Amino acid sequence: MADSPSTGVGARQLTGAAIEDLDTPALLLDAEAFQRNLRRMADFFQGRKCRLRPHFKNHKCVELARRQQEAGSMIGFTCAKLSEAEVLADAGRDNVLIANQVVGRRKMARLAELARRINVTLAVDHVDQIAAISEAAIAAKVTVGALVEIDIGMGRCGVPTGEPALDLAREVMNRSGIEFRGLQAYEGHLVYLRDFDERAARVRQAMARAVETRRMIERAGIPVGVISGGSSSTYRITADIEGVDEIQAGTYPTMDWRYAELAPEFEIALSVLARVISVRPGEAVLDVGVKGVGDEFGLPRLKDYPTVEIPSFESEEHCIVHHAPAWNIGQTVHLIPSHACTTCNLYRQMVIHQGDRVVDVWPIEGSGKLT
């Protein structure tokens, strides 16, 4: 088990310690809450045709990934980057989808090497990508899987639905070293819609375009193994759409306050422990800022203090709290981030706790893996 980067104290020394004695800021994961989250998602997919392919980018922690796999109902893992897939391969995990475009000469060499070790698939949306992957795979005598990514409204990567997707599928089929395995269709532009009925209606509408594209490709004589997409706030919708086979839900093990508003069946298990380092009448300053808490989707919130205000979150190492209770210097509080994924990426380890006691410390092997 990796040592703490700040104290040199490893998991064995920290086990049993009181949370309030930890160096701060510290990334915490509630042992019971995250296990309930894993069980809830695995139970949902039990017996369904559609399978779960959880997104490693949420936590980037090998031990947490192992526990997701133990919970069952999975077909494999999703990653955002090639380097994350390499971390999973090093840990003995197989059947990995890189739900992104992999581009660059050096990355082609790494991709080919990865394909020697595990079953790997990645997203493509351009003939130049397909040609580069094919060339690298042929030279290495390996096979790389490909999902043609289609844009169903996100406006990011992906080709238009219909004929452009069919043309790209044919391009993959005509190349050696690369295998057409299906389509990727991510409804990311809809995952934060607050009203569930509106979210459901618009997700079904968007995914209908993906399913229609699948049928078009199949009518052209090309088998489509999967449509892969979905999220932690749309899994209940997308998993019941005929023709969708994989759900790339990411945040459900850890959760953040933003996703908890959209998928309240899951518990917020993640928090950042911070310490009061300065006080004055009506205000307090905590020892964590944007270098320790992801805030892309809103200001962090204070656990157990719902009425206490964090007016802004712009400092690198400080957080100012308005209308603070009569906190003492050295007191610890829990911050709930609005974005769990970027918060986990800021840390090298997560402290697993049960109540107010440490039960384990897990390295975050994928932290900082951006290539």
Q: What is the pLDDT of residues 54-63, one digit of tens each?
A: 999 999 999 9
Please say if the pLDDT value at position 10 is more than 70.
no
d(CA 337, CA 342): 9
Please say if the pLDDT value at position 331 is more than 60.
yes
pLDDT in the model for residue 4: 37
Give me the amino acid identity at 62. Answer: V
Average pLDDT over every residue of 321-346: 96
* Residues 29, 351 contacting (CB under 8 angstroms): yes
* Residues 230, 247 contacting (CB under 8 angstroms): yes
Please say if the pLDDT value at position 264 is more than 90.
yes
* Residues 30, 353 contacting (CB under 8 angstroms): yes
215-220 contacts, C-beta under 8 A, 24 or more apart: 215/243, 216/162, 216/163, 216/165, 216/166, 217/165, 217/166, 217/169, 217/183, 220/166, 220/169, 220/170
Mean pLDDT over each residue of the chain, to the nearest integer: 96
Average pLDDT over every residue of 316-332: 95
Q: pLDDT category, 6, cuts 50, 70, 90?
A: very low
Peptide bond into 54 cis (omega under 30): no
pLDDT in the model for residue 140: 98
Q: pLDDT category, 288, cuts 50, 70, 90?
A: very high
Angle at 337 between CA 333 and CA 343, to 5 degrees: 110
Give the three-class secondary structure for 341: helix
Q: What is the pLDDT of residues 112-161, one digit of tens each?
A: 999 999 999 999 999 999 999 999 999 999 999 999 999 999 999 999 99
How much of the chain exceeds pLDDT 70, in percent?
A: 97
What domains appear along the chain, each with residue ranges and CATH number? 11-30+265-363 (2.40.37.20), 31-254 (3.20.20.10)
Please say if the pLDDT value at position 2 is more than 60.
no
* Residues 347, 362 contacting (CB under 8 angstroms): no
Angle at 162 between CA 243 and CA 237, to 5 degrees: 30
Average pLDDT over every residue of 22-35: 98
Please say if the pLDDT value at position 180 is more than 70.
yes
Q: Find residue 28's DSSP bridge partners.
A: 271, 351
Q: pLDDT category, 5, cuts 50, 70, 90?
A: very low
Please say if the pLDDT value at position 200 is more than 60.
yes
